[in-house]
Amino acid sequence: MTILLSVQGVSKRFGGLQALTNVTFDLPQGQILGLIGPNGAGKTTLFNAINGVFPPEEGRILFREKDVTRAKPYEHAHLGMARTHQIVQPLNDLTVRENVMVGACFGHEQHPLTHAAKIADEVLEFVGLAAKAEQLAGSLNVTQKKRLEMARALAARPYLLLLDEVLAGLNPSEIDGMIQTILKIREKGITIIMIEHLMKAVMNVSDRIIVLDYGQQIAEGSPEEIAKNEKVIEAYLGDPKLAEQLLEEE
Amino acid sequence: MNAWKKHLGIVLPLLTVTALALWPVVTDNPANRESVFTILKAVALASSLNILLGYTGYVSFGHIVFYGFGGYVGIYLLTEKGWSLGEALLAGGVASGLLALLLGSAILRLRGAYFALATIGVNEAMRAFINNFELFGGPTGITLKFSVYKEYGGAAQALQTAFYIGAGLALLALILSYMVRSSKFGLGLLAIRENEDAAEVMGVVTPRAKTWAYVLSAIIPGMVGVLFFFKNGNVEPHDAFPLHSSIELLVMVMLGGQGTVFGPILGAFAYQGMRGYLVTSPVFKDIQLSVSGVLLLVIVLFIPAGAIGWLRHRIPPLRRLLA
Amino acid sequence: MQQLNLLLTSLPDGLLLGFVYGLAAMGLTLIWGVMNVINLSHGPIITLGMFSTFFIYTRLGLNPYIGVLPIALVGLLLGILIYTAAVHRVINGPHLSSLLATFSVNMIIIGLGTAALTTSPYNVDFSAGSFKLGNATILGTRIIAAIVTLAFTGGLYLFLYRTRPGKFIRAVANNRAAAELMGVPSTRILALSFGIGTMLAAVAGGLIATFFPFSILSGSGYELKSFVIGVLGGLGNPIGALFGGLILGILEGIIPAFIESSWVPVIEFVLFIFILLVRPSGLFGAKK
């Protein structure tokens, strides 16, 4: 089993706030890793550390056996990492196709324009946005923008895809559609880390789950193990709704 | 899509500028030639600025520094070192490009208004420096020896030659602008304009892309500077680095529509045309600056996308034509 | 030794000048701090202050300092007018929009001013005495201007920290959305802030008129100085602007003792770019 990503003792501070403390895990190729935890637990911060937006103060991050701890976000992209944002960041005044072409042109495979346009059309078809290709990205609704984020990341044909709450704000049928898409992405051999609040979804699709609380890694294991873990239930008690959802899974 | 249709966006700009350049030739009128030269100069400068402002989204308030600096370098080489006009033009372009390369790697780290302020600072620092720089004649500047024009068939013929070169530079500027706009490099710039952080995450090497955009936007202004001061007969700090001209360029780009190839051409034409009318109009002559100000304010407040942006937005089929 | 003498004679002059520079920059930086707008109509407002003093002294024959309060009031109202007409619509737009909107106001004022007053120089030939301090001659006008500046700075500080609208201004500067949720009438507060900013610029102009000759175009030079000072003191920090002004005044007093005074602007603007690059929050600003 090849290790695609290795996070070793990563810590990150913002002023007085310890956002991440000694986070350590290995991610084998081809898996889906679920990253859960209450709001403010440091999940997005971990993404930002992994892809170089805010490099950690301590620890190392190895991606495909290369030390990328201090690399810039674009270097991560070139090496084969792609991500979506929790708060969608469409390039509003460009068309949907152009948005996706940016990923294909500048991401992992660095395609020339004409080839990038073909890839963009394929990817848009895949995420179900083909009909919107000529529209300006700013005119899409939130669901479509989330799909656009995903299409941009996929167009780079990355090894690793970081998905930050792609299900939030979607209605049940949209969630089902998105989960199908995620599973299809895995079939293509792309490794995924997904941050998710929807327990049911994350429990269903993940091979393994890591739980963060106040920047600490409080549990790690298969979905079944996590659902029974006392520390996890305790951490979620401050957030009754989520605790309920967890218990429902039981 | 055939090649002709694919490059439709360059057709209208090329036709417009060519027609403009031919007008004084056809009418054979030196007065027309002078006013068209002013417009062509504005087209070249505004189209260049558009690469940084319109495509990359960085507001340069001191872009005229490249015009002044390139102009000084070229005129110095022309008068003191006996270089030909062609060599001096190239040297002016190269000098401004190098200046942008040097500056860009430093000040392009600043974003938004901080970058705008820094460019004002650069222009003023350069003006003050040249004012003290003896090699370039300090506050009195450099005056061309009249004999220089002899090589170009006398002053009248030199003016004619300068006009053709000016038309060439304007065409060059819009071809460059179009090439950037329709390239992969240009797509990266547009991504930076829309959201620099997201662009970086998607793999755009933002520091490098921004610096090259800055360099490309500086070269032709440097050449235009050499040409203008050659035609003018002298160069001095006050004429080389006028901050208000920088801002006029911003107005032109915005008026026509930033981020489009045709916009700056239309903007340059409209702005210079309006100014020409106001300066000569008996009613507005004295308050032409105020009238321009009111018009600018109306545009900024009500049509911020500029004329071309507005048309593209309202009539989507025009998008390919008005690239 | 000669240099030291020169230094001692020019330093107090520069320092006192620095107060007024600071006052002008305070207006610019307040507006930036509250609404992230760089006011490019700052220069012409300074010029209007200068001409107000000219008319009060030369045409009406009154003591120029009688003009300070009316100039302040007119500056305040003018600023509120400019905000309402030109700035409010683009306050949330891209930077280019607010820059060009305020620049269009600049063009309007300069255009009308040029039509009415031409671009030839004017002079307020007023003296408030002078005294000797060592080798240096200290002009009364500069002392009074420094005192007026201190009074306005103190007043501004009290206003911002002790009064309700002042606290509202600080709240809007800190986080406009949150302030609105707390019930702060943000539009009125923004207009008021812009008004205070232009008021300070106008008063500074009124004071500078007693030092040097000026024309309708003089304001742009002081506007550029205000940018430099604003960055020195930290953009958005009005009290820092006073210190920034003093630093600039001292530099203008010291530098000519060593090299030709025409190098002063070179040094000023290089310093300006340098601080923007290494410490954009200013010498006195907290690191963000």
B197 with A53: Cβ contact below 8 A: yes
State whether C90 and B304 contact (CB < 8 Å): yes
Residue C288 has pLDDT above 70, yes or no: no
C112, C231, C263 ranked by CB distance to B132: nearest: C263
Backbone angles phi, psi at A217, to 5 degrees: -85, 100
The 10 Å Cβ neighbour count of residue C244 is 31
Q: Cα–Cα distances in Å, from A125 out to A46, A100, A103, C202?
A: 31, 12, 15, 61
- Residue by residue, DSSP assigns B16-42 as HHHHHHHHHHHHT-HHHHHHHHHHHHH
- Predicted TM-score (pTM) of the model is 0.91
Note whether A164 and A233 are same-domain residues. Answer: yes
Which residue out of B202, B313, B314 would a mutagenesis test of the A interface target, given it has the greatest number of A Cβ atoms within 10 Å? B202
Yes or no, beta carbons of B61 and C99 under 8 Å apart: yes
A177 located within any domain: no
Q: Which residues of B touch C85 (CB under 8 A)?
A: 297
pLDDT at residue A170 in the model:
85
Task: Kindly state whether residue A184 falls inside one of the protein's structural domains.
Answer: no
Burial class (CB in 10 A: 0-12, 13-18, 19+), A201: buried
Closest partner CB to B187 (pick from A90, A93, A98): A98
Pair A37, A43: CB distance under 8 Å: yes
Distances (CA, A) of A215 to A14, A23, A70, A220: 12, 8, 20, 14
Question: What is the domain range of residue C21?
Answer: 2-122+140-278
| Rounded CA separation B48/B63 (Å) | 9
Apex CA B47: angle with CA B46 and CA B53, to 5°? 80
Give the best residue of B129, B246, B274, B289 to mutate against chain C (max C CB count within 10 A).
B289
Do C and A make contact via 3 or more CB pairs under 8 A? The reply is no
Q: Can you give the CATH number for the domain in which B267 is found?
A: 1.10.3470
Do the Cβ atoms of B46 and B258 come closer than 8 Å? Answer: no
Q: What are the distances in angstroms from CA A50 to CA A25, A224, C46, C56, C237?
A: 12, 26, 51, 66, 36
Q: How far apart are CA A137 and CA A90, in angstroms?
A: 6
B199: nearest CB among A78, A85, A102 = A102
Same domain (yes/no): A143, A219: no
The answer to the question of residue A165 being in a domain is yes
Mean per-residue pLDDT of chain A: 90
SS (H, E, C) B234-296: EECHHHHCCHHHHHHHHHHHHHHCCCCCHHHHHHHHHHHHHHHHHHHCCCCHHHHHHHHHHHH
- Hey, of C36, C100, C225, C262, which one would you mutate to test binding to chain B, going by the most B CBs within 10 A of its CB? C100
Nearest by CB: C265 against B120, B128, B300: B128
Please give the residue range of the domain that contains residue B161: 3-319
B308-322, C65-79, C125-139, C245-259: which is most confident: C65-79
Could you tell me if A76 and A86 lie in one domain? Answer: no
Mean of pLDDT values over C202-216: 93
Q: Which residue of B has its CA nearest to A158?
A: B202
Tell me, what's the pLDDT at A240? Answer: 55
- What pLDDT score does C239 carry? 85
Residue B142 confidence (pLDDT): 94
Residue A248 pLDDT? 58
For B11-50, give one letter per residue: b (16+ CB within 10 A) or e.
ebbbebbeebbeebeeeeeeeebeebbbbbbbbbbbbbbb
Residues A46, A11: one domain? yes
Distance CA A174, CA A141 (A): 13
Look at A77 and B202 and tell me if their CB atoms are within 8 Å: yes
Is pLDDT at B19 greater than 80 in this prediction? yes
User: Between chain A and chain B, how many beta carbons pairs sit less than 8 Å apart?
Assistant: 74
- Taking only residues 44 to 83 of chain A, the set having a beta carbon closer than 8 angstroms to any beta carbon of chain B reads 51, 53, 72-74, 77-78, 82-83
Query: Which three-class secondary structure state does DSSP give residue B171?
Result: helix
pLDDT band at A243 (very low <50, low <70, confident <90, very high): low
Quick one: closest CA in A to B190, which residue? A94
Residues A105 and A40 in one domain: no
Q: Looking at residue A32, what is its pLDDT?
A: 95
Q: How confident is the model at residue B8 (pLDDT cuts 50, 70, 90)?
A: confident
Chain B CB contacts of C99 below 8 Å = 59, 61, 113, 116, 250
Q: Check pLDDT > 60 for residue A250.
A: no
**B121, B254, B290 member nearest C276 (Cβ):** B121
What is the pLDDT confidence band of residue C223, given thresholds at 50, 70 and 90? very high
Provide the pLDDT for residue A239.
Answer: 61
Which CATH number covers residue C93? 1.10.3470
For the segment B141-170, the average pLDDT, to the nearest whole number, is: 89
**Tens-place pLDDT, residues C46-56:** 999 999 999 99
Q: Does the distance separating the beta carbons of A78 and B195 come in below 8 Å? A: no
pLDDT exceeds cutoff 80 at B170: yes
User: What is the total count of domains within chain B?
Assistant: 1
Chain B residues touching residue C231 (CB < 8 angstroms): 117
Where helices occur in chain A by DSSP H, the ranges are: 43-50, 73-79, 96-106, 113-127, 142-155, 172-187, 199-205, 223-228, 230-237, 240-249
* Residue A53 sits in the same domain as residue A165: yes
Q: Which chains touch C (3 or more CB pairs under 8 A)?
A: B
- b or e along C2-29 (b: 16 or more beta carbons within 10 Å of the residue's beta carbon)? eeeebbebbbbbbbbbbbbbbbbbbbbb
Q: What pLDDT was estimated at residue B93?
A: 97
pLDDT at residue B1 greater than cutoff 50: no
CA distances from C10 to C132, C136, C138, C247, C256 (A): 13, 7, 10, 14, 8
Best residue in A44, A93, A95 for a mutation probing chain B (most B CBs within 10 Å): A93
pLDDT band at B26 (very low <50, low <70, confident <90, very high): confident
Task: Using a CB–CB cutoff of 8 Å, tell me whether A102 touches chain B.
Answer: yes
B264 vs C3, higher pLDDT: B264
pLDDT computed for residue A149 by the predictor: 94
* pLDDT tens digits for range C142-176: 899 999 999 999 999 999 999 999 999 999 998 89
> Is B198 an 8 Å CB contact of chain C?
no
**Which pair of structure tokens corresponds to residue B298?**
């109306």
Neighbours, chain B (3 or more CB pairs < 8 A): A, C
Mark whether A35 and A130 lie in a shared domain: no
Contact A108 B203 (CB under 8 A): yes
A28 and A18 part of one domain: yes
Mean pLDDT, rounded, for B40-51: 96
Report if residue C283 sits inside a domain. Answer: no
Closest residue on chain C to B305 (Cα)? C97
State the Cα–Cα distance between residues A36 and A29, nearest whole angstrom.
20
For chain A, how long is the longest CA-to-CA vector? 54
Half-sphere exposure at residue B310, Cβ-oriented, CA atoms within 13 angstroms:
12
Pairwise CA distance, residues B153 & B160, whole Å: 10
Residues A9 and A114 in one domain: no
- Shared-domain flag, residues A143 and A122: yes
Residue B154 or residue B131, greater confidence: B131
Instruction: Report whether pLDDT(A238) > 70.
Output: no
The DSSP bridge partners found for residue A18 are A13
Asked whether residue A137 is domain-assigned, the answer is: yes
B205 contacts A107? CB cut-off 8 A: no
- Helix ranges, A96-161 (H): 96-106, 113-127, 142-155
CATH of the domain at A212: 3.40.50.300
Mean pLDDT of B54-72: 95
**A18 lies in the same domain as A142:** no
* pLDDT tens column, B187-236: 999 999 999 999 999 999 999 999 999 999 999 999 999 999 999 999 99
Q: With respect to residue A73, please indicate whether it lies within any of the assigned structural domains.
A: yes
* pLDDT 10s digits, A59-98: 999 999 999 999 999 999 999 999 999 999 999 999 999 9
The chain-wide mean pLDDT, for chain B, equals: 90
Determine how β-strand A81-83 pairs with β-strand A66-67: unpaired
- Report ipTM for this prediction: 0.90
How far apart are alpha carbons B139 and C220 in whole angstroms? 19
pLDDT tier, A35 (very low <50, low <70, confident <90, very high otherwise): very high
The domain in which residue A104 lies consists of 82-158
Angstroms from B277 CA to nearest CA on chain A? 35
Q: Considering its fold, how many domains does chain A have in total?
A: 2
B10 has a pLDDT exceeding 60? yes
3-state secondary structure chain C: CHHHHHHHHHHHHHHHHHHHHHHHHHHHHHHHHHHCCCCCCHHHHHHHHHHHHHHHHHHCCCCHHHHHHHHHHHHHHHHHHHHHHHHHHHCCCCHHHHHHHHHHHHHHHHHHHHHHHCCCCECCCCCCCEEEECCEEEEHHHHHHHHHHHHHHHHHHHHHHHCHHHHHHHHHHHCHHHHHHCCCCHHHHHHHHHHHHHHHHHHHHHHHCCCCCECCCCHHHHHHHHHHHHHHHCCCCHHHHHHHHHHHHHHHHHHHHCCCHHHHHHHHHHHHHHHHHHCCCCCCCCCC
What pLDDT does C72 receive?
A: 95
What mean pLDDT do residues A7-36 have? 92
Number of B–C residue contacts, CB under 8 Å: 127
Q: Is B102 on the interface with C (CB under 8 A)?
A: no
- Separation of alpha carbons A99 and C22, rounded Å: 47
